């Protein structure tokens, strides 16, 4: 692990987290959970939108999910799956 934020406040300001995922349910879930902990969370399902958001305001933490479709396809092609 590179580092851990132990508080929703960093240097006297609320920690700003940007979540980028194409799954809107996952975005809402992460936003709800982290928001309850006091973090300021914004989400987007659009990578280009994420770049625009970062240009407006640099996040303290960026959470990004990537699904590797080719691995999923390969796993599903094994006999018995």
Instruction: Say what the pTM is.
Output: 0.70
Residue 63 lies in a domain: yes
CA 75, 46, 6, 40 torsion: positive or negative? negative
Cβ 24 vs Cβ 44: under 8 Å? no
Residue 2 lies in a domain: no
Range of the domain at 32: 13-76
Residue 6 lies in a domain: no
pLDDT per position as a tens digit, 5-27: 556 666 778 999 999 988 889 89
CATH of residue 45: 3.40.50.2300
Does 31 or 2 have the greater pLDDT score? 31
pLDDT per position as a tens digit, 37-64: 999 999 999 888 899 999 999 999 998 8
Task: Specify the number of domains making up the chain.
Answer: 1
pLDDT at 34: 92
CA–CA separation, 46 and 78 (whole Å): 32
pLDDT at 2: 41
Burial status of residue 79 (CB atoms within 10 A of its CB: 0-12, 13-18, 19 or more) = exposed
Name every residue whose Cβ is closer than 8 Å to that of residue 31 and which is 6 or more positions away in sequence.
19, 41, 42, 43
């Amino acid at each position: 692990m590179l580092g851990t934020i132990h508080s929703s406040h960093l240097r006297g300001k609320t920690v700003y987290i940007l979540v980028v995922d194409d799954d809107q349910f996952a975005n809402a879930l992460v936003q709800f959970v982290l928001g309850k902990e006091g973090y300021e969370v914004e989400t987007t399902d659009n990578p280009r939108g994420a770049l625009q958001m970062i240009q407006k305001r640099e996040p303290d933490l960026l959470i990004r999910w990537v699904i590797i479709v080719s691995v999923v396809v390969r796993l599903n092609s094994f006999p018995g799956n």
